[in-house]
Amino acid sequence: MGKLSTWRNGVMRRVEGRSAREIATLTLKTLRHTARSFSPAAARARRADQAFDRRWGTDTGGTMNLSALNVARERALLGFGYQASNGVALKDAMKIAAIDPARFTFIDYGSGKGRVVMIAAATGFGRAIGVEFAPELHEVALTNADRFAAAGGAARRCEMVLGDAGSYAPPRGPVFAYIYNSFGPVILREVLERLEQRAAAGEEIIALYVNPRHRNAFEDEDRWHVVADREDWVLYRPAPAAR
Ligand SMILES: C[S@@+](CC[C@H](N)C(=O)[O-])C[C@H]1O[C@@H](n2cnc3c(N)ncnc32)[C@H](O)[C@@H]1O
């Protein structure tokens, strides 16, 4: 099969059965995604990818559109594709949070290939969990966790969970939630509601929202208060009433 027909078949598979509105949304996302891949920020991200992967023998680089992955279509339309964090926001937010990471379970909601889960494990979190709904990315994350552990990256193995972030029930105990713009407000609210329930039951909860495009999901009903607000991340704790 020639390149053109492979490309055509791929496009047909992605648009099959979608409404005109869904195809328009998908096309817009693909165009934005392509434009971003040429930006200076994307070049910096590529260099960070390479440095991390060279050091640990992992594969955390690249970008991946959700339409190319094996995920339920109605959930894919509410989420964003893969691009790894570089760990800078986590490092900066940790200074401000002033917590002992060993007491906390770190959860990356929409963890992709698991880079920030590995960074969190190396930072000393008691547990480091990644929740990812795309099986292709989850498989890569499992291999990465093995390689990272074998290379001595962290004392405790990272836990990679295959599943939808919106239905993931966090374990008991203090939680440090990490969200790198993995999805829009619908799934974000599902995630936050579970965290709010934990907070109401007396658990200590902190949430770091990186590339915070849907802050309303946190801020609209005064359920969370802003601990720190930076150019590309916001650190939250549940508001006293929600605790
Ligand atoms: C921008 S990437 C972030 C990757 C990772 N958190 C990091 O910081 O390196 C967003 C990820 O969220 C995943 N995702 C989107 N919606 C999801 C959902 N409902 N449940 C689980 N994962 C989701 C995507 O497949 C993608 O891997």
Is 89 in contact with 179 (CB distance < 8 Å)?
Answer: no
pLDDT the model gives residue 39 = 80
Cα-Cα end-to-end distance for the chain: 59
Q: List, for residues 86-121, the tens digit of each pLDDT value.
A: 899 999 999 999 999 999 999 999 999 999 999 999
Atom 16 (ligand 1): residue with closest C-alpha?
A: 79
Measure the CA–CA gap between 112 and 160, rounded to whole angstroms. 10
Atom 13 (ligand 1): residue with closest C-alpha?
A: 110
Q: List, for residues 78-95, the tens digit of each pLDDT value.
A: 999 999 998 999 999 999
Per-residue pLDDT band at 139 (split at 50, 70, 90):
very high
Q: Are strands 205-210 and 175-180 parallel, antiparallel or unpaired?
A: parallel
Is 218 in contact with 236 (CB distance < 8 Å)?
Answer: yes
Does position 71 have pLDDT exceeding 70, yes or no? yes
Average pLDDT over residues 222-229: 96
Average pLDDT over residues 24-28: 74
Angstrom CA distances, 19 to 66, 74, 81, stand at: 17, 12, 20
Does position 26 have pLDDT exceeding 80, yes or no? no
Average pLDDT over residues 20-29: 74
Radius of gyration of the chain (CA): 18
Does position 160 have pLDDT exceeding 80, yes or no? yes
Encoded tokens for 241:
């009433």
Q: Which of 78, 182, 183, 209 to mutate to test the pocket of ligand 1 (most atoms within 8 A of CB)?
A: 182
Per-residue pLDDT band at 70 (split at 50, 70, 90):
very high
Pick the CATH number of 83-242 from 3.40.50.150, 2.40.50.1020, 3.20.10.10, 3.40.50.2300: 3.40.50.150
pLDDT the model gives residue 8 = 62
State percent of the chain over pLDDT 70.
Answer: 88
Angle between helices 88-97 and 115-123 in degrees, nearest 10: 40
CA of 196 to the centre of ligand 1 (A): 21
Cβ(110) to ligand 1 under 6 A? yes
Measure the CA–CA gap between 211 and 208, rounded to whole angstroms. 10
CA of 2 to the centre of ligand 1 (A): 32
Q: Are strands 63-64 and 82-83 parallel, antiparallel or unpaired?
A: antiparallel
What mean pLDDT, rounded, does the chain reach?
90
**128 DSSP β-pair partners:** 106
Name the more confident of 184 and 49. Answer: 184
pLDDT the model gives residue 49 = 73
